[in-house]
Amino acid sequence: MREFYVRDGAKRKVRHITIPDLHSQFVHHAVFNVIGKTIEKRNYFYDCGNMSGKGCRLAIKRTKRLFADKKNKYYAQFDVSKYYDSIPHKPLIWMLRNRITKDKPTLRLLWEIIKSSGKQGRGLAIGFYSSQYLAVLYLQGLDYKITQEFAPGCGYVRYVDDGIIVGGNRRVLERALYLIENYLRTIGLRIKGVWKVRKIKERLAPFLGMRFGRGYVIMGKHIMYRISRAARYAAGRKLTQHRASQLLSYWGTLKQCDSYNFRRTRFDPFVSISHCKEAMKNAHNRRCCTSGDV
C-alpha cells in the first residue's frame, strides 16, 4: 500500500491519497463493477459527484436553472465536515447488508475492504476504487430525506459532501437544515461551520468554485487567477499534450459560466483552441502508431 499527499482543486487543498497494492485493486474492481451498478440505480439523479456520466457540469447546469427560476427566492447550503475521514464502518456495512446484498461471503469481503481503507473503525481512503461508491451509498438516505420529507418541492443538488437547496419559503429551508444536521448526527457525521439561509438577490451563492446569482454564473476568483496564469504561461511556449489538455479543460469551465469579458481579455489572446485540439489529436495518433508497431 502506497501513501502520499497531493494538492487538489483550485483552492489547492491537501489530500491524503492511499493506493492499495495491485492484487487488492483487482479485487476492488471485480466487486464494485458489479455492486456499483446497484448503487447507481438507487442514487438521487442530482447527486453529481463520483458517478459516471455526471460531474460539475451537470451540477452547475442544474443549479443555474434553479437560481433562474423566479419562484425560488432563498437558498441554503451545507457542507459535511471531513466526509471521507468521518464515515463510520459499522453503519456502512449495515447499509450494504440491508440495501445491496445479503450474501454472507460478499459481505465478509466488503467488510475487509472497508476495514483496510480506514483506521479505528472510521474513514474511507481517498484512492481506493471502492471508496467512491461507498461514499455515494452512505448519503443516499440523506438525499431521500431531503427530497421527500425535509424540503419537498424544493430544488436540491449535491456534489459529494457539498449540498445546496433552493426554494421559495425561508422557514422551510431553515427547518430542512435543522433536520439535516440532526440526521447527519445520527449517522456519525456533522455539518461544517454554521449554516444559514440567504436571499438569492442579496448575496451570490458560492458552490463548486462558482458564484450563482439570479440567472447568471460567475467564476470564483481563485479559478480566474489559475486560468489566467495558465493562459499567459502557455503563450509562446511549446504546446505539450499535458498543457493542451489543461487548457481545453479550462476552456470547458469558461463555457459553463458567464465569462465573455474574461475570455476576451485573459484567455483568447494567449490560447488557440484549434491548436490545442490539434496537439491532442497528434498525441493520440502517436500512441496509436506506437501500439500498432508493438
Residue 53 has a pLDDT of 81
Same-domain check for residues 90 and 148 = no
DSSP line for 53-82: T-SHHHHHHHHHHHHH-TT--EEEEEEBTT
Same-domain check for residues 33 and 52 = no
Q: Which domain holds residue 249?
A: 220-293
Inter-axis angle of helices 241-255 and 273-293, to 10 degrees?
140
Q: How many CB atoms sit inside 10 A of residue 39's CB?
A: 20
Residue 55 has a pLDDT of 86
Same-domain check for residues 3 and 117 = yes
Residue 289 has a pLDDT of 78
Q: Which residues pair with 205 in a beta bridge?
A: 212
Distance CA 199, CA 167 (A): 10
Q: How many CB atoms sit inside 10 A of residue 6's CB?
A: 12
Domain stop point among 219, 249, 272: 219
Domain membership of residue 132 (yes or no) is no
pTM recorded for the entire structure = 0.88
Residue 294 has a pLDDT of 47
Same-domain check for residues 197 and 73 = yes
CB < 8 Å & 24+ apart, contacts of 192-195:
192/79, 192/80, 192/81, 192/82, 193/79, 195/76, 195/77, 195/78
Handedness of CA 181, 185, 186, 188 (dihedral sign): positive
The 8-class DSSP code of residue 47 comes to B
Lookup result for grid cell 476568483: 221
Domain stop point among 160, 193, 219: 219
Handedness of CA 174, 175, 181, 187 (dihedral sign): negative
Same-domain check for residues 59 and 168 = yes
Residue 11 has a pLDDT of 67
Same-domain check for residues 228 and 101 = no
Cell output for 64: 443555474
Dmax (CA) for the chain in angstroms is 67
How does pLDDT run along the chain (294 residues), one tens digit per residue?
788 788 776 667 788 888 888 999 999 999 999 999 999 999 999 999 888 888 888 999 999 999 999 999 999 999 999 999 999 999 999 999 999 999 999 999 999 999 988 778 899 999 899 999 999 999 999 999 999 999 999 999 999 999 999 999 999 999 999 999 999 999 999 998 878 899 998 889 999 889 999 989 999 888 999 999 999 998 888 888 999 999 999 999 999 899 999 999 999 999 999 999 998 988 888 888 776 554
The 8-class DSSP code of residue 213 comes to E
Strands (E) located in 10-167: 13-19, 74-79, 155-159, 162-167
Q: How many domains does the chain have?
A: 3
Domain membership of residue 255 (yes or no) is yes
Residue 237 has a pLDDT of 85
Domain stop point among 219, 240, 271: 219
CATH of the domain at 63: 3.30.70
Residue 10 has a pLDDT of 60
Residue 98 has a pLDDT of 93
